[in-house]
Amino acid sequence: METFRILIVDDEDDFREAIMKRLRARKVEVAGANSGLQALEMLDNQDFDVVVLDVKMPGMDGIETLRAIKQKKPLVEVIMLTGHASVESGIQGMQLGAFDYVMKPVALDDLMDKLRQAYERRMLQLEYGRQNL
Amino acid sequence: MAGNNPPSDQEPWPQLWRYPAIYGSSGLLALLAILLGVYVNPLLGLATAGLAALSGLTVHRLDRQLRAAQQEKYCVDEQLLQSQKLAAVGELAAGLAHEINNPLAIIRQEAEWLLFLCRQSDPLDMTEAITGLRQILKQVDRSREITANLLNFARRQKPVAQALNLNRLVGDMVRLVAKEAEQRHIQIVTDLAPDLPSLSSDAPLLRQVVLNLLNNALQAIGREGTITIRTQVLGADQIGLEIRDTGCGIPKEHLPRIFDPFFTTKPSGQGTGLGLSICHGIIERLGGAITVASEVGQGSTFTIKLPITLTHQEI
């Protein structure tokens, strides 16, 4: 499998660093952002396949960031991560085009599965876009 | 109303099979008339024959009137359906107007305030101006989301078919609503077919449907009740997904419109009435069907049938 590029967006440094370390150990190319704004900036300058996005962040929250990402790069897949489940924001997130909405804590194997599926979806969409040029 | 087929056009001939007993007795009367005419008295035979003909004709005429009445009833049903549809369009427009008017009102307030600032204060209070502009942008975003949702009905993004495990997807979404259910003393029972094959369908769209239906079930129950979510194999190329709640149920007169956009029974400001219509739209795009059965006070059951493999028809 081709390596894919992940962006982890979470304001909690410890969580972000830990998950990045573990993903790197699995040979995944991964970068981190500590806010929605920083994530958007990074998306402007680098290519990412899947963004893992914390829902609750100070300033620009996850839902707002998701909306901005989907506007900027509709084919970047976004997996929302949430500490406490809010059904309403889950529905909102899915409606805004998130790939999945996942409760913390998430087992790394499960997250890897979801990352792979999100990546596969992105590849299918890119492929479809190429065919219809 | 769907099962109400138009009665066939009036047929000129008596439909003997419709009333076998009556037409049969007319026939017997006719036979008796022949027998009486031949063996007893021709006059008596003639009278009986007249009686037989009269009874047959009367029944035939009554039958025709009955069918004419049925035809008329069918037309009235059709008109009722049409007027219900028109009412739904009206409600859609009203719902949309309401949803858009709120942000418009805020935008107007802010714009007038900015205009006032520009005219009055020199130099312009920049922080105040920026706050106003931000608010305007936020409200525009809010409106755009409403129109984007609406456009989802018209211009639909093509589903992406991927291998997915529906049982797992259902489990994930149940976990997402579990805490809220627990707080409201609502039990969620899952009954997932262990032999469910892997689907080739659009996972994020299905998550949206399951989450919306679970949310609806929670709201229908309010407090204390049970949601049962079941998956099953329906055949070689079809699976079923059923979400049943023990909630308030849906009044019969609302059932035909339950999937219409903006149709809502919730107080204004709570839910846009788009949830079920979004579910309906998604399931259709995935080549499936969604139906509802409900009884007031008993609860509702939403049943989805999905093809195991999403075949890409032109949408």
Q: What is the pLDDT of residue B265?
A: 67
Total residue count of chain A as it appears in this document: 133
Burial B86-125 (b: 16+ CB within 10 A, else e): eebeebbeebbeebeeebeeebeebeeebeeeeeeeeeee
Query: Once rounded to an integer, what is the mean pLDDT over residues B214-226?
Result: 94
Nearest C-alpha neighbor of A29 from the set A49, A53, A3, A9: A3
Q: Give the closest-approach CA distance of B72 to chain A in angstroms.
A: 45
B213 lies in which domain range? 162-307
Q: Is A123 within a domain? A: no
CA separation for the pair B280, B302 (Å, rounded): 11
A85 touches chain B (CB under 8 A): yes
Q: Is A121 within a domain? A: no
Residue A10 sits in a domain of what CATH number? 3.40.50.2300
Contact B167, B137 (CB under 8 A): no
What pLDDT digit, counting tens, does each position of A28-73 carry?
999 999 999 999 999 999 989 999 999 999 999 999 999 899 888 8
- First-to-last alpha carbon distance for chain B, in angstroms, is 27
Size of interface A-B (CB pairs under 8 A): 62
Contact yes or no for B207 and A100 at CB 8 A: yes
Q: Is A41 within a domain? A: yes
CA separation for the pair A74, A97 (Å, rounded): 8
Does this model's pTM top 0.90? My answer is: no
ipTM for this prediction: 0.93
Same-domain check for residues B141 and B166? no
Burial B235-272 (b: 16+ CB within 10 A, else e): eeeebbbbbbbbbbbbeeeeeebbbbbbbbeeeeeebb
Closest chain A residue to B145, measured at CA = A96
pLDDT of residue B232 exceeding 90, the answer is yes
A99 contacts in chain B (CB < 8 Å):
203-204
Q: Is the dihedral of CA B29, B30, B33, B34 positive or negative?
A: negative
In this predicted model, which residue has the larger pLDDT, B66 or B267? B66
Contact yes or no for B158 and A124 at CB 8 A: no
Q: Pick from B155, B170, B186: which residue ends a domain?
A: B155
Opening angle at CA B209, ends B287 and B101, nearest 5: 110
Same-domain check for residues B149 and B1? yes
Q: Is A70 within a domain? A: yes
Number of structural domains (chain B) is 2
Give the start-end residues of each E strand in chain B.
162-164, 186-192, 199-201, 225-233, 238-245, 289-295, 299-307
What pLDDT digit, counting tens, does each position of B84-111 carry?
667 767 767 777 787 888 889 999 999 9
- B302 phi and psi, to 5 degrees? -100, 130
Q: How confident is the model at residue B308 (pLDDT cuts 50, 70, 90)?
A: very high
pLDDT of residue B113 exceeding 60, the answer is yes
CA separation for the pair B206, B288 (Å, rounded): 11
Closest chain A residue to B181, measured at CA = A87
Cα dist. B266→A43, B9, B211, B252, B273 in Å? 40, 44, 18, 16, 8
Q: Is B312 within a domain? A: no
Query: Once rounded to an integer, what is the mean pLDDT over residues B179-197?
Result: 96
- CB-based contacts of B13, cutoff 8 Å, min separation 6: none
Contact yes or no for A128 and B164 at CB 8 A: no
Contact yes or no for B175 and A124 at CB 8 A: no
Contact A54, A19 (CB under 8 A): no
Same-domain check for residues B185 and B299? yes
pLDDT of residue B157 exceeding 80, the answer is no
Same-domain check for residues B100 and B178? no
CA separation for the pair B110, B87 (Å, rounded): 35
Same-domain check for residues B182 and B291? yes
CA separation for the pair A5, B159 (Å, rounded): 24
Rg (CA), chain B: 31
Q: What is the pLDDT of residue B314?
A: 41
Mean pLDDT of chain B: 84
Amino acid letter at B45?
Answer: G
Same-domain check for residues B4 and B150? yes
Same-domain check for residues B143 and B199? no
Q: What is the pLDDT of residue B278?
A: 86
- B210 phi and psi, to 5 degrees? -60, -45
Q: How confident is the model at residue A16 (pLDDT cuts 50, 70, 90)?
A: very high
- B14 phi and psi, to 5 degrees? -60, 135
A104 lies in which domain range? 5-108
CA separation for the pair B236, B197 (Å, rounded): 10
Q: Is B33 within a domain? A: yes
CA separation for the pair B6, B198 (Å, rounded): 42
Q: Give the closest-approach CA distance of A87 to chain B in angstroms.
A: 6
Cα dist. A17→A8, B146, B258 in Å? 9, 37, 47
Same-domain check for residues B133 and B224? no
A128 contacts in chain B (CB < 8 Å):
158, 160
Same-domain check for residues B255 and B281? yes
Q: What is the pLDDT of residue B269?
A: 47
A89 contacts in chain B (CB < 8 Å):
none
